[in-house]
Amino acid sequence: MRNPLLAVGVLVAGGGLVGCSAPTVAPPAASGAPLAGSWLAQVVEHPETFAALTGGPDRPGWIALHGNDLAGAADAFAVAGLNAGPNARVGRARALLDLSQLYLDLARSGDQAWLTTFATWSERSTIPAGSALTYVAGLAARDQGDAEVSSAWFKLSETARDPAVAQASAALVQTSPGAPVTGDELPALLVRHNAHVAARDSGVIDGLLAEAALPLVQEDELRSDGTTLHREFYDPEILRTLSVAYWKQAQEVMGGGHPLQALITLPDGADPMAALLFGPVLHAEEWSSEVSRHTETPGMLGASSAALAALGLDTELPPTDEPDWARDQVHRLDAVLDAWETQVRASASPDGLALLDDLRLVDVLRSRLLLALARNAIGSHHPWQAKTFAQLALDAENSRAITPVNHPALQAILIEAQLQTGHTREALDCIQPMLAAYPAATGLDEVLGDLAILQGLDRYGDSKEN
Amino acid sequence: MVTARRTEGSTLRTLVRRGAADAIRVLVLSGVVAAATPAVGGGLRYAEDQAPGIVNPVFTTSMSEARLNELVFEGLYTDNENLASVPCLAESSELSADRTSLVVHLRTDVRWHDGTPFTAQDVVFTINAMKDKATASTEKGRVAWIKRAEATDDATVRLEFERPEVRPEDKLLFKILPAHGFTSTAVKRTDTFRNSPVGTGPYRFVRYNDDNSITLEAAADAHRTPAISEIVMREVSDKNYQAKLLLYESLEALVRVLPRDLSVLQNARKVELYPYQTNSWWYLGFNLERAPFDNHDVREAVAHMVDVEALLAPIGTGDTLTGPYVKSSPYYNHDVPAWGYDARTAAALLERAGCTQEAGKWMRNGQPLTLHITAHQTLESSQEVVINLQSQLQSAGLDVEVEFLDEAAWKARVWREHDYDVVLSQWTFDRNEDIRDQFHTEGARNFSGYSNKAVDIVLDKARDTTDPQEKKAALRDAHRMIHDDAPMVFLWTLDSYAALSTRVRSVVIHPFYFFTFVQNWRMD
């Protein structure tokens, strides 16, 4: 029997598909035993069960999820609408939770980027008089819950050239965080702000998503040399709004309860593998213990999974942020994966091996585990280790593309880690591959560009050949 | 026809060296060298496509030279791992209240590698040497902002600026030379210093070896103790062999991996890949002082004859570009369209430039329209690109001749004599991505003769402004104008990965200078 998903690898990876290379010799201590019974082992040892899950009408959703096309997966699983089967609901919820987590990763970078940029700008240069920049800075501070800084920026906006900016600033100072601004004939800025409040409440984001890559404010400024400078400032609220809204959507898909809890109990008739396939959690039991630690938001889901411990990896970080520690962890993981792969290649059926190679399943699992470790490190304020994990997770041959191995959140974690280690220009390299699929990151790209420029103002730019 | 051509570098000595290197290469690939010469105890061997043409920071034009400088020399300030400027040869500094001068207090525990104490005279000498017109330093821009340098005592330097500075230490990263190594501030490329360079950096120059390699040894002193005892720069001119040498443990580091080798190296358990950011882009650059390339229509026609995607595909993954920035740059103008492969438009442009077509060949003034492409021998995959480019342009009706130059010939022919039609090369920028040197009329690296007053104005504006959005807007304008002038066919940027043996630990790579943090590296 040939599995209906066998062609998926070719489909998603195009001509660049590379089968797994022959494993190198693993250290004697490494054993593939922790992977026994995992989703990976089940797929290879029982390809028919994989076919049963992914070969039906939900197939486009699974193809998209495998390719890390998160929005595509969420849409594809939703095609059946209210009549979707339990597996499609699980798949859609997983895609939505992944999106929520991705935007939360990006929002954390946004928090740092916006305020660092505006603070550096005011320290190193002169904030353009009358610009709406101060309003956007106030909005950024408010979105991360810093009322004092937010009020200070909004205060500066009272002298904005555009009266609507001054009006919006004054209104937001008077309004509690998370509440809409009330009143008639609100200026467009406040209508937009209220749209964020509504989206975070309802999960409905269509209008915001359509404008996510567009500037929030555009203004023309007459310069002293007689030229006009066109300025654009992007919406600092969009990333967190999308994170919250996708969480709400996942909640709705799973029947209104807690979406993560619902993934443990599973809807009636759902295949347990639907909750695990292509993910960082190896076994259903680990999934439940994992979820119990993360009940409010997706946050660091997967980062401290029991799976990591079972694989011989340390879930407690050392006190210092040494990249070599992270490299050693990756070597340990590779040894386990190599040992398992050597073993399975001697015993698996041709169909199982074809799935293993065509879908690059070992690389997919490795990447998702390293993403979890990277999240753990960044959440523990160890950006060098986070950077190391994320960089080693990426498929170097296609590092500019989102692929089955290159989850978009790897780039999001790298953005944050680069920013925290002073490598702002490198953070821009990490955003670039995301912009086509995640245009809401455009504002982050622009503001980080401003920050990179500000940080280099006093430098002599060096260049060399080759 | 592709021909290899050497001029200045074609000495018997070089040929002998190359012969030896080739022989070693064969032996290594057959497993002999790996078995016979185990890794140097505690030493690190890294590969360059070609040995640096010169080891003197005031004449640095290539990345291989910049990397070696980073090992041997130091600046008053340097980058720390978070890319902030921190004192190196300086101990501290005081900026005047009006920001027009800086007093730099120097370390007093530093000696040159020959034992001579490092003093303020060395700093003053270096600045004056770089500013001296007789030196013709390619790095003169790095000190142009300093009006005057004065040693007030052996450990103190006072710098006066051309205009107020906010963080002058950010500009004091240039390497310091030993005054006692030279007879005057008119430094020459041929000075004896090139044979025995002396620095204060973490590694001391030991010798040039017969196989074109360079041996350095750790220079432990009061302010540092590098953990790796020896570093050897090995010239491996055929880049296709570099990855194999690393896998066979005949090297410990590759500074830049060929894209096609990434797959093998990322699956090798004894090798680690290190992505690092380099703002590098390939280009086909016209000599604008030479007919017919002084004609915009001819240049644009050539741009339309080049299928950039097809040239890129065989050598790896990367982004094609429309101007002098990489796509992730804040200065990249995404609204500028690529010229695009378009034979019909190319033909129309050539006809407008007075060319005619006879039997499928383009003629100009009764002679075949000939494009002489000069490529840098050290440019990775350049032969593959040139052969495919030659094929594309010949199919479009041009006569194409090709030559590859080594570093010395390249500097002489391209940089100094401007004796070329079209060059295939690559520029690499630090995180500032300052293209002023390449495209300003007065740019120190503008060997193409490009000059556009409007571009000069926006480049000057970008240099002077402290408003990030004004700078961004100005340089996006520059991107558009430079693209429209077509002084180059902008090709692509490739991913940059270094590869190191897993034996090398505590590795942090500087995104431009590579070895800045080498003193912290160690070997298991």
Q: Does B492 touch chain A (CB under 8 A)?
A: no
Residue A4: its pLDDT value, please? 36
Average pLDDT over residues B146-170: 96
Read off the pLDDT band of A84 (50, 70, 90).
Answer: confident
Least confident of A444-448, B149-153, B187-191, B236-240: B236-240
CA distance B12 to chain A (A): 26
CB pairs under 8 A between A and B: 179
Tally of structural domains, chain A? 1
Residue A177 has pLDDT above 50, yes or no: yes
Closest CA to B200 of B183, B186, B180: B180
Q: At a CB cut-off of 8 Å and minimum separation 6, what does A163 contact?
A: none
3.10.105.10, 3.40.50.10610, 3.30.565.10, 3.30.365.10: which CATH number matches B279-494? 3.10.105.10
Is the four-CA dihedral B10, B14, B20, B21 of positive or negative sign?
negative
* String of DSSP letters for B324-363: SS-TTSTT--TTSPP----HHHHHHHHHHTT-EEETTEEE
Q: Is residue A389 part of a domain?
A: no
The arithmetic mean of pLDDT across residues A360-388, rounded, is 94
Q: How confident is the model at residue A295 (pLDDT cuts 50, 70, 90)?
A: low
pLDDT tier, A26 (very low <50, low <70, confident <90, very high otherwise): very low
Look at residue A419 and tell me whether its pLDDT is greater than 90: yes
Contact of B449 with chain A, judged by CB distance below 8 Å, is answered with no
B63 touches chain A (CB under 8 A): yes
Question: Could you tell me if residue A53 is inside a domain?
Answer: no
The pLDDT of residue A82 is 59
Whole-angstrom distance, CA of residue A410 vs CA of residue A389? 9
The pLDDT, as a whole number, for residue A27 is 45
pLDDT score, position B276: 83
Task: Answer whether residue A62 is part of any domain.
Answer: no
Supply A328's token pair: 């050693």
Q: What does the pLDDT read at residue A404?
A: 97
Residue B93's CB is within 10 A of a number of other CB atoms, namely 19
Closest among A184, A185, A181 to A173, alpha carbons compared: A181
Residue A126 reports pLDDT greater than 60: yes
Both tokens assigned to B184: 């005057």
Beta-carbon separation of B434 and A126 below 8 A? no
3-state secondary structure (DSSP) of residue A174: coil
Query: Does B77 touch chain A if contact means CB atoms closer than 8 Å?
Result: no
Q: Where are the domains of chain B?
A: 9-72+201-270+502-523, 77-192, 279-494
Paired residues of B284 in beta bridges: B424, B489
Residue A248 is predicted with a pLDDT of: 93
Q: Do B171 and A458 touch (CB under 8 A)?
A: yes
Cα separation, B354 vs B360, in Å, equals 16
pLDDT score of A424 more than 90: yes
Beta-bridged to residue B318, according to DSSP, are B494
Cβ–Cβ < 8 Å for B374, B412: no
Confidence of residue A341 (pLDDT cuts 50, 70, 90): very high
The whole-number pLDDT of residue A305 equals: 67
DSSP secondary structure of A53-101: HHSSTTHHHHHHHHTT-HHHHHHHHTTTGGG--HHHHHHHHHHHHHHHH
CATH assignment of B9-72+201-270+502-523, among 1.10.3860.10, 3.40.228.10, 3.40.50.300, 3.40.190.10? 3.40.190.10
Whether residues A426 and B277 touch (CB distance < 8 A) is answered with yes
How does DSSP classify residue A436? T
CA neighbours closer than 13 Å in the CB half-sphere of residue B105: 5
> Does A365 fall in a domain?
no
Contact A121 B468 (CB under 8 A): yes
What pLDDT, in 10s, does the model give residues B253-289? 999 998 889 989 998 989 999 998 779 999 999 999 9
Contact (Cβ atoms closer than 8 angstroms) between residue A104 and residue B447: no
Give the residue on B whose Cα is nearest the Cα of A328.
Answer: B502
CA pair distance A170, A179, nearest whole angstrom? 15
Q: Do residue A463 and residue B269 have CB atoms under 8 angstroms apart?
A: no
In chain B, the residue whose alpha carbon lies closest to the alpha carbon of A456 is B432
% of chain A with per-residue pLDDT over 90: 70
Residue among B64, B82, B431 minimizing CB distance to A456: B431
The kind and range of the H/E element at B445 are none
CB contact under 8 Å between A465 and B425, yes or no, is: yes
Of B266, B272, B470, the CB nearest to A229: B470
**What average pLDDT does this structure show over B385-413?**
93
How many residues make up chain B in this entry?
524
Is residue A421 included in any domain, yes or no? Answer: no
Question: Is the pLDDT confidence value at A181 over 70?
Answer: yes
pLDDT band, residue A284 (cuts 50/70/90): confident
Q: Could you give the CA distance from residue B139 to residue A150 in angstroms, rounded to a whole number?
A: 45
The mean predicted confidence, pLDDT, of chain A is 88
Q: Does A146 map to a domain?
A: yes
Mean pLDDT of A186-194: 95
In the CATH scheme, what architecture does the domain B77-192 have?
Answer: Alpha-Beta Complex (3.90)
- The predicted-structure confidence for B417-465, as pLDDT tens digits, reads as follows 999 999 999 999 999 999 999 999 999 899 999 999 999 999 999 999 9
Q: Which range of residues forms the domain containing residue A139?
A: 127-240
Cβ neighbours for B402, distance < 8 A, ≥ 6 positions apart: B1, B2, B3, B372, B373, B374, B375, B386, B390
Q: Do B467 and A24 touch (CB under 8 A)?
A: no
A69-83 residue pLDDT tens: 999 999 999 986 656
CB B378 within 8 A of CB B62: yes
Identify the residue with better confidence: B223 or A63: A63
Query: What is chain B's mean pLDDT, rounded?
Result: 89
Tell me the average pLDDT across A120-145: 91
As a whole number, mean pLDDT of residues A186-193 equals 95
Q: Write down the pLDDT at residue B185.
A: 96
Inter-chain residue contact A461 with B269, CB threshold 8 Å: no
The position carrying tokens 């296609």 is A398
The residue ranking higher by pLDDT, B238 or A71, is A71
Structure confidence at residue A29 as a pLDDT band (50, 70, 90): low
Give pLDDT, residue A301: 63
**In the predicted structure, residue B10 carries a pLDDT above the cut 70:** no
Q: To the nearest whole angstrom, how far is the Cα of B356 from the nearest Cα of chain A? A: 36
- List CB contacts (< 8 A) between A459 and chain B: 170-171, 173, 430, 432
Is the Cβ of B81 closer than 8 Å to some Cβ of chain A? yes
Q: In this predicted structure, what is the pLDDT of residue A293?
A: 65
Tokens read off for A105:
């990763």
CB B236 within 8 A of CB B49: yes
- DSSP assignment, residue B414? I
Phi first, then psi: give them for residue B205, nearest 5 degrees: -65, 130
Would an 8 Å CB–CB cutoff place B434 in contact with chain A?
yes
How confident is residue A304, by pLDDT bands cut at 50, 70 and 90? low
**Could you report the per-residue pLDDT of A206-265, keeping only the tens digit for each?**
889 988 899 999 999 988 888 899 999 999 999 999 999 999 999 999 888 777 777 777
Residue A12 banded pLDDT, cuts 50, 70, 90:
very low
User: Does residue B8 belong to the interface with chain A, where contact is any CB pair within 8 Å?
Assistant: no
Q: Give the rounded percent of residues in chain A with a pLDDT score beyond 70.
A: 89
Comparing CB atoms, the residue among B432, B467, B502 nearest residue A456 is B432
pLDDT for A80 equals 65
Identify whether A140 is part of a domain: yes
Question: How far is residue A239 from each of residues A234, A258, B311, measured CA to CA in Å?
Answer: 11, 22, 38
